[in-house]
Each structure stands twice: as structure tokens, then as C-alpha cells.
Amino acid sequence: MSNNQAANTANTEHVVTVDTAGGRYPIRIGPGRLAHLSKSVPTDATAVVVVTNPTVFALFGKRVKQALSQLTVPVSIVELPDGEAHKDLATLNLIFDHMLGKQLDRRAVIVALGGGVIGDMAGFAASVYMRGIRLSKCQRHYWLKSTPQ
């Protein structure tokens, strides 16, 4: 990371700005971020696809839907099978089939709700769909101190 900046806002959110050759992006860290997930979606997004698994979605899906309901763009969910054994092309195609079926363009955003397999699969899908779309990762740290719905 070059030219990192950290800011502390009133709600104890820390923002680290990362500069790369490909552009600049913020990393937001702090308690209660799940409720503010819509802030992680760029204002010019045309759609949001939440990629998750049944275990995480059962615990936090209602809150994620509520947080993203503030957006004015379509939000859809793709649930991938849980576990490392499903890190394969067939599972990856669940994401691609969903996005192609919705005719999503390059301004769509993938939100990875989960770590590990979910983060890897959603990140790879975002990097190759239409030569790359934006990704927001909502990893375990987001909900560690949160109470399930």
C-alpha cells in the first residue's frame, strides 16, 4: 500500500485509503459496519449481487437485506454451497449464470458476505466478469460483535 491514510469518524469507523496503480479505494473498519453496508456500494452502481453461503445468510441475511434496501438499484443474492470442497468451476458458474441471467453490466458490484471460500469465489468472479467489476468484501470482522437477526 502506498500513501495510506487513516481517519477516525465519530462512530469509531476507521477508513484506510489505499492507492494502487489501478486506482484508489477505501477500506472501512469498525463496529456496526454491517448496518452501513450500503456505504460500501459506489454511487454509480447499477446493481448489487450478494454472494454468500446458507450458513452466513441464515444468520445475517435479514440485516444485509435491510442495510442494502437503502439503495436505489436492484439487489440479488447468490448462495454458494458451504465449504472448501465447493471451490470449483461449477460453483463459480453459479455466480456467472446469475449475473448473466440478470444482464448485469460493468457497473454492477459484487458484495462478498463471508470470508474464505466466499471471498475467493466472489473476488475471482468480480475480476473476470466483463473484464472486471467492483467488489466489496464483508468479511467476518463485520459481524463478529454483531448479534444474529
pLDDT, tens digit, for every residue of 44-92?
A: 999 999 999 999 999 999 999 999 999 999 999 999 999 999 999 999 9
Q: List Cα–Cα distances, 1 to 16, 121, 137, in angstroms.
A: 10, 23, 18
Residue 4: the pLDDT is: 38
pTM as predicted:
0.82
Q: Are 143 and 31 in contact (CB under 8 A)?
A: no
Q: pLDDT tens across 115-141, in order?
A: 889 999 999 999 999 999 999 988 765
